């Protein structure tokens, strides 16, 4: 990575917030050369976030002095990204003054310039929700994003890499750098492998050999691994399973997805506790009036969960149009950040591939996920007779920290009742 420390006369552009509380992005390609003149809004680089490829636009018109990351780097939100050595001011003249120099002074130095600390944030789409309808917050700071232990740490990249090599948890390391930044030496000291200052080279550390043919996770698969790990560390999962007779309306060509979306909207109105976000750190939750449904979509690149907005009030025609648009964008990797953020509950229609029931993974801060299995004929009791009827298996995963068993079963009963309707 290029030296990110501020040089005299430069203005530093940092990687901006890319939506959904994402903390980093992988740099795929630079779209401008050093020395190029750019206009405000012109794309500087293409990056890949957890779920989408995004072009990062220039905030100013001016000349690119340095590119502060290399292709393949994972860049933290707020990290130095591009240094402009000339920026046009309002009257069209060039300025080489640096508005960021004072703000950036604490990040200068041999390694500290690449450090990015915790950035203030809020739960996704909080501002947008204020316009669409009220949400009820319970507890102090209910609209705040649950902080993760990892995001609260400040460490130079060399320290993070060394911690991975040694298997050292950064949370257990006391930083001795500026403002408590964790350095490589801090990690090695925590591992008990640093000798006296100036005593020579550090003893070699045996590292577990890589698996044959191993390659680093990237892009969507890396995002999935991290989200699943976060869920496993935070959520207290529980499940309720059922099935519903859909013989009255199911046939080849019926829009099953639209029926499922409608039923989830109905169930969320019947039991709002599952249409919520949980802030476990603050022991608070946010109940949402609008139901913004994340729909799991499998592509060649991996799993995406774009969001269909306000399903409880949307007509079926708009829901189908939104699903089609999002599916096309997911396959083409053209989903926008707004398409992927702010889901209040998720649907996994895994039955299109097979299977009856599943133990589903809840992605924080959501507290529930609905899964639907393969529709198939089964012998059921109907009007006092044993008949072969088309049945749809239902799985409901919920976070037991926020949802009671009674709330979960009421939700599932409402979901089942709507799916059993003939209309």
Clarify whether residues 173 and 228 are in a common domain: no
Clarify whether residues 237 and 153 are in a common domain: no
Full domain range(s) for residue 154: 148-196
pLDDT value at residue 48 = 84
Answer yes or no: are the C-beta atoms of 78 and 56 closer than 8 Å: no
* Range with lowest mean pLDDT among 208-222, 249-263, 350-364, 378-392: 208-222
> Is it the case that residue 85 has pLDDT exceeding 70?
yes
> Is it the case that residue 199 has pLDDT exceeding 90?
no
Counting the structural domains of the chain, the total is 3
409 part of a folded domain: yes
6 part of a folded domain: no
Question: pLDDT class for 178, splitting at 50, 70, 90?
Answer: low
Clarify whether residues 232 and 348 are in a common domain: yes
47, 88, 335 from 40: Cα distances, Å = 18, 10, 23
Q: How much is the pTM?
A: 0.61
201 part of a folded domain: no
Question: 243 pairs with which residues across the strands?
Answer: 393
pLDDT value at residue 121 = 33
| Residue 241 token pair | 């399973």
Considering only the C-alpha atoms of the chain, give the largest distance between any 2 of them, rounded to a whole number of Å. Answer: 86
Q: What percent of the chain has pLDDT over 70?
A: 74
Clarify whether residues 388 and 241 are in a common domain: yes
87 part of a folded domain: yes
Clarify whether residues 185 and 232 are in a common domain: no
Q: Which residues contact 275 (CB under 8 A, 6 or more apart)?
A: 268, 287, 288, 291, 344, 345, 368
Pairing of strands 80-88, 345-348: unpaired
Tell me, what CATH number does 175's domain have? 4.10.320.10
Clarify whether residues 255 and 347 are in a common domain: yes
pLDDT mean across residues, the chain: 79
82 part of a folded domain: yes
Calpha distance 73→31 (Å, rounded): 15
* Range with lowest mean pLDDT among 115-129, 160-174, 291-305: 115-129
**Residue 75: how many CB atoms within 10 A of its CB?**
23
Residue range 259-281: mean pLDDT, rounded: 96
30, 264, 294, 348, 392 from 355: Cα distances, Å = 43, 20, 21, 12, 11
59 part of a folded domain: yes
Tell me, what CATH number does 304's domain have? 3.30.559.10
Clarify whether residues 96 and 186 are in a common domain: no
386 part of a folded domain: yes
Clarify whether residues 412 and 358 are in a common domain: yes
> Is it the case that residue 343 has pLDDT exceeding 50?
yes
Calpha distance 125→343 (Å, rounded): 9
| Residue 270 token pair | 């019947």
Clarify whether residues 305 and 407 are in a common domain: yes
> Is it the case that residue 403 has pLDDT exceeding 80?
yes
Clarify whether residues 101 and 180 are in a common domain: no
Clarify whether residues 94 and 182 are in a common domain: no
Tell me, what CATH number does 103's domain have? 2.40.50.100
Torsion of CA 164, 234, 260, 420, to 10 degrees: 140
Calpha distance 308→280 (Å, rounded): 26
> Is it the case that residue 380 has pLDDT exceeding 50?
yes
| Residue 377 dihedral angles phi and psi, to the nearest 5° | -70, 135
> Is it the case that residue 146 has pLDDT exceeding 80?
no
2 part of a folded domain: no
Residue range 64-78: mean pLDDT, rounded: 92
Q: Spell out the SS3 assignment of the chain.
A: CCCCCCCCCCEEEECCCCCCCCCEEEEEEECCCCCCEECCCCEEEEEECCCCEEEEECCCCEEEEEECCCCCCEEECCCEEEEEEEEECCCCCEECCCCCHHHHHHHCCCCHHHCCCCCCCCCCCHHHHHHHCCCEEECCCCCCCCCCCCCCCCECHHHHHHHHHHCCCHHHCCCCCHHHCECHHHHHHHCCCCCCCCCCCCCCCCCCCCCCCCCCCCHHHHHHHHHHHHHHHHCCEEEEEEEEECCCCCCCCCCHHHHHHHHHHHHHHHCHHHCEEEECCCCEEEECCCCCEEECEEECCEEECCEECCCCCCCHHHHHHHHHHHHHHHHHCCCCHHHHCCCCEEEECHHHCCCCCCCCCCCCCECEEEEECCCEEEEEEECCEEEEEEEEEEEEEEECCCCCHHHHHHHHHHHHHHHCCCC
Clarify whether residues 88 and 18 are in a common domain: yes
Question: 80 pairs with which residues across the strands?
Answer: 14
pLDDT in tens, 94-109: 555 444 433 333 333 3
């Amino acid at each position: 990575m290029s030296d990110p420390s501020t040089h005299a006369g430069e203005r530093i552009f940092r990687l901006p917030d890319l939506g959904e509380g994402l903390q980093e992005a992988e740099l795929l390609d630079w779209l401008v050369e050093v020395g190029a003149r750019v206009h405000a809004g012109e794309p500087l680089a293409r990056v890949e976030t957890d779920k989408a490829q995004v072009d990062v636009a220039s905030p100013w018109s001016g000349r690119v002095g340095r590119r502060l990351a290399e292709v393949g780097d994972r860049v933290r939100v707020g990290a130095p990204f591009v240094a402009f050595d000339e920026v046009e001011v309002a009257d069209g003249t060039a300025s080489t003054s640096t508005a960021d120099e004072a703000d950036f002074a604490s990040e200068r130095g041999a390694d500290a310039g690449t450090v990015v600390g915790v950035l203030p944030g809020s739960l996704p789409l909080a501002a947008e929700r204020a316009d669409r309808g009220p949400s009820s917050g319970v507890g102090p700071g209910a609209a705040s994003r649950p902080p993760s232990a990892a995001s609260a740490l400040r460490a130079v990249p060399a320290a993070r890499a060394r911690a991975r090599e040694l298997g050292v948890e950064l949370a257990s390391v006391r930083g001795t750098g500026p403002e408590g930044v964790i350095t490589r030496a801090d990690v090695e000291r925590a591992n008990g492998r640093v000798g006296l200052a100036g005593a020579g080279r550090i003893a070699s550390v045996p590292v577990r050999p890589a698996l044959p043919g191993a390659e680093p996770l990237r892009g969507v698969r890396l995002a999935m691994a991290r989200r699943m790990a976060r869920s496993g560390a935070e959520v207290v999962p529980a499940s309720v399973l059922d099935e519903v007779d859909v013989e009255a309306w199911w046939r080849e060509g019926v829009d099953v997805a639209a029926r499922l979306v409608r039923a989830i909207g109905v169930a969320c109105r019947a039991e709002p506790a599952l249409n919520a976000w949980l802030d476990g750190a603050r022991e608070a939750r946010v109940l949402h009036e609008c139901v913004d449904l994340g729909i799991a979509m499998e592509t060649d690149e991996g799993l995406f969960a774009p969001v269909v907005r306000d399903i409880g009030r949307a007509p079926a025609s708009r829901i189908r149009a939104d699903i089609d648009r999002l599916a096309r964008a997911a396959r083409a990797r053209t989903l926008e950040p707004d398409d992927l953020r702010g889901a209040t509950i998720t649907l996994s229609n895994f039955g299109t591939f097979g299977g009856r029931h599943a133990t589903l993974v809840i992605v924080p801060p959501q507290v529930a996920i609905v899964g639907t299995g393969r529709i198939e004929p089964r012998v059921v009791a109907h009007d006092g007779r044993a008949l072969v009827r088309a049945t749809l298996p239902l799985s409901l995963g919920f976070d037991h920290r926020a949802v009671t068993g009674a709330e979960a079963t009421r939700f599932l009963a409402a979901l089942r009742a709507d799916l059993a309707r003939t209309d």
